[in-house]
Amino acid sequence: MPELPEVQRAVDIVNRVGAGKQISDIQTFEDSIVFAGVTHLDFASEVKGRTFRKAHRYGKVFYLELEGKGRMPVLHFGMTGMIQIKGESAVYYREGPKDTSTDVWPPRYVKFILHLTDPISDSVCELAFLDARRLAHIRLCASPMTEPPISELGFDPLLSMPRPEDFVPLVRKRSCPIKALLLDQSFSAGVGNWVADEILYHSRIHPEQRCHTLSDAQLEALYFNIVNVCQIAVSVDANHELFPDDFLFKHRWGKGKKAKPTLKLPSGELATIKWITVGGRTSAYIEELQLLPSPALQEDTNPETSVRI
């Protein structure tokens, strides 16, 4: 699933090709699941003819700020959503899907195509929104930041990280596993599966450790790494090949007997990557570095569930 860094990459692409251009035309393709609360025809009617100012991201959601009367497109990629510019490859997660091509237009799984006209050169760029599994959402909102889905999200690690003194009680009042809390978008907007695992690895926290058992040192590390991991990933345009060698992301993809671990411990020995299910998602962690406290310390004295949105 595209997470904060991948969505920021998409926003940067949209701004690069579209800022200041007019939506001279728009093609939409019927999909009553992906178009949420608006038909594809009404979406096209409300967007066409307006000038695109800038794309903005909050968590895993982004929206297009448009001039003129009407609501703004608010977009969520779901599991397999992506942006593709005509003549360029679609970029998604670790690699582009096998069945997209720069030679085929409109691309497969397309939901809409914006025709963006430069007011000076009159040149036209085409920008497509794709989704193979139909778990994305396309909405129109009058005030994106104050309406759902954005208004229901928690803090964004790069845009609205709380102060440390406010962050600590937000975590300590919960008794669910810390990985489940990080996946809860009403807590930390934009943090998904791989980002959460990366944060916990660098913080040396086991994904199953209960929030209320975290020490002051662990909470300090967690606070730092929520921001740091996102900043590093965004700084390299979410290109996993440019992630630091000590990022778990670069080593976590092999499972089973054929897997060849390459991540090294501080001692220089090879690390042992383990996988468990936490918060409904497969979680990778380093056995030697992310230790789970004893059952007595993990006792759930204040049961509370955490919902992943």
Express each pLDDT in 273-301 by its tens digit.
999 999 999 999 999 999 999 876 666 44
Q: What is the pLDDT of residue 303?
A: 39
CATH architecture, domain 4-152: Alpha-Beta Barrel (3.20)
> What pTM, to 2 d.p., does this model score?
0.91
Q: What is the pLDDT of residue 103?
A: 77
Binned at pLDDT 50, 70 and 90, residue 306 comes out as very low
Tokens standing for residue 41: 């025809």
Q: List, by residue number, the catalytic residues.
A: 2-3, 60
- The type of residue at 171 is V
Q: What is the CATH number of domain 164-294?
A: 1.10.8.50
Separation between Cα atoms, residue 297 and residue 153, nearest integer Å: 31
**219-224 long-range CB contacts below 8 Å, 24 or more apart?**
219/167, 219/168, 219/171, 219/172, 220/164, 222/171, 222/178, 223/164, 223/167, 223/168
Q: Hey, how many other C-beta atoms are within 10 angstroms of the C-beta on 152?
A: 12
Q: Which of 53, 62, 52 is nearest to 6 (CA)?
A: 62
Q: Which of 9, 136, 177 is nearest to 85 (CA)?
A: 9
Separation between Cα atoms, residue 120 and residue 116, nearest integer Å: 12
Separation between Cα atoms, residue 230 and residue 122, nearest integer Å: 37
- Give the start-to-end residue ranges of the domains of the chain: 4-152, 164-294
Q: Do 164-294 and 4-152 have the same topology in CATH?
A: no
**pLDDT tens-digit series, residues 158-189:** 999 999 999 999 999 999 999 999 999 999 99
Lowest mean pLDDT across 84-93, 94-103, 234-243? 94-103
CB 74 within 8 A of CB 141: yes
Q: What is the pLDDT of residue 257?
A: 53
Average pLDDT over residues 25-34: 98
Average pLDDT over residues 229-256: 91
Binned at pLDDT 50, 70 and 90, residue 262 comes out as confident
